[in-house]
Amino acid sequence: VSRDVIAAMTAYTLELREAEVKLNQNESPFDLPRALKDEILARVVERPWNIYPDFESMALRSALATAYGYQPENVLVGNGSNELLAAAIGAFVGPGTPVVFSKPTFSLYEKLVTVANGRPIPIAVDPASGVLPLDELLGAVERETNAVVIVCSPNNPTGGVLPAGGVDALLATGATVLFDRAYGDFALDALPPLHDRLVTFSTFSKAWGLAGMRVGWLASTAATCREIRKVKLPYSLNIISEAIAATALQHQELRVANVTRTIAERTRVFAAIHAIDGVTPYPSQANFIAFTSKIAAKPLFEALFAYDILIRDVSAAVPNALRVSIGSREENDRFLAALGEIMREEAPR
Ligand code: PMP
């Protein structure tokens, strides 16, 4: 039998359904151009596949360091940022370690903390505010000794961000800060300066449109990277994904174009949802919008699915809320049209 804490946990889950319009996982609607894919694969075909990847992942770490103004020793890469979150939590959270995070937030954090026998300290987020509750997070951190705080900004699934100066304020308490900026590009954020007690997690899965390649990275001081590396699995990133991510970094214009289009669509979709009677969107700086309506979350989810539109039911985390990813213009239009029709049919006549 598994350990008690594991037996009491639920697995990370997802509604396994298929639909023509897939707006349930905050993926990018924009794939890498076919010509670029072909070019990268042609290079990868020439490399030996029977040989392990470079132990240090130097090519990708150097490319990231150059792109973001770091040294390679400030960067670790992994099989998605999920892997690096697990490694960092493994490095910083032990039995009884107090770990402060907003609730709701990305559900993986609490699971990893639970596996590590840490002590989760959830702090309620008001999704309507558009910001994370910095004062309450600070208060919770200050009540503990040697706390770890995990911040997701913009926050999944609510979309709000940490107020300006939030990272510095949290660091000033003496806490270790794990800062997940998976959606940071969509908030036009800047990476904070390095600090021994700060780890910043980024991903190629969102703004870069490379979720299928599973590449994430973290940044911290060389000393902190060395500690996390003791926990991380060796060779977790394969040569194909590594080459794809390194090449993508030479095409920042692709990321910028994705971000620009997504932000423009987010603004349009927010206004359009807001204009539908009976629906309330929550402010978001990410590539998704959470919203509630006068119809309960589950029947509305099913009604949209009947239109072949798959979004995410987040009502277990945010009362009565659904979350829709920002897709292509056409996908967003299909979603908005369906939502409008469903709400009109619901209207009392
Ligand atoms: N952090 C957050 C907040 C996320 O929402 C996600 C994706 N759902 C991840 C990290 C995971 O990213 P990756 O694909 O890099 O593992």
Q: What is the DSSP string of 131-146?
A: B--HHHHHHHHHHSSS
What Rg value do the Cα atoms of the chain yield, rounded?
Answer: 21
Respond yes or no on whether the N-terminal peptide bond of residue 33 is cis (omega within 30° of 0). no
Query: What number of CA atoms fall less than 13 Å from residue 141's CA on the CB side?
Result: 25
Residue 324 to residue 306: CA distance in whole angstroms: 16
Q: Around Cβ 217, how many Cβ atoms within 10 Å?
A: 25
The per-residue pLDDT for 11 is 86
CA of 113 to the centre of ligand 1 (A): 16
**Cis upstream peptide for 281 (omega within 30°):** no
CB 132 within 8 A of CB 166: yes
Burial of 95 (0-12, 13-18, 19+ CB in 10 A): exposed
- Taking CB atoms within 8 Å and a gap of at least 24, the contacts of 224-228 are 224/196, 224/197, 224/198, 224/199, 225/73, 225/74, 225/75, 225/76, 227/91, 228/76, 228/84, 228/87, 228/88, 228/91, 228/199
Cα(307)–Cα(21) distance, rounded to whole angstroms? 9
The pLDDT value given to residue 127: 97
> Backbone phi, then psi, for 201, in 5-degree steps?
-110, 130
The whole-angstrom separation of Cα 13 and Cα 24 is 12
Query: Can you give the pLDDT at residue 349?
Result: 52
Question: To which residue do tokens 């904070």 refer?
Answer: 192
- CA of 95 relative to ligand 1 center, distance in Å: 25
* Ligand 1 center to 202 CA (angstroms): 8
For 13, the token pair is: 């889950």
Q: Residue 168 C-alpha to ligand 1 middle, in angstroms? A: 23
**Mutation to probe ligand 1, out of 178, 203, 314 (largest number of atoms < 8 A from CB):** 203
Strand order across the 148-152 sheet: 75-78, 216-219, 198-203, 176-180, 148-152, 98-103, 119-124
Nearest-CA neighbor of 172 among 149, 188, 191?
A: 149
Q: Are 36 and 348 in contact (CB under 8 A)?
A: no
Atom of ligand 1 nearest to the CA of 105: 3
The per-residue pLDDT for 280 is: 98
> Quick one: angle between helices 107-115 and 80-92, nearest 10?
40
Which residue ranges have their beta carbon within 6 Å of ligand 1? Answer: 26, 80-82, 106, 152, 156, 180, 182, 203, 205, 211, 216
Is residue 238 within 8 Å of residue 215, measured between CB atoms?
A: no
Please tell me the pTM assigned to this model.
Answer: 0.96
Cβ–Cβ < 8 Å for 206, 186: yes
State residue 73's pLDDT score.
Answer: 98
pLDDT of residue 348: 64
pLDDT in tens, the chain (349 residues): 899 999 999 888 777 899 999 999 999 999 999 999 999 999 999 999 999 999 999 999 999 999 999 999 999 999 999 999 999 999 999 999 999 999 999 999 999 999 999 999 999 999 999 999 999 999 999 999 999 999 999 999 999 999 999 999 999 999 999 999 999 999 999 999 999 999 999 999 999 999 999 999 999 999 999 999 999 999 999 999 999 999 999 999 999 999 999 999 999 999 999 999 999 999 999 999 999 999 999 999 999 999 999 999 999 999 999 999 999 999 999 999 999 999 999 876 5
Asked if 277 contacts 284 with a C-beta cutoff of 8 angstroms, the reply is: no
User: Of 127, 122, 156, nearest to 12 (Cα)?
Assistant: 156
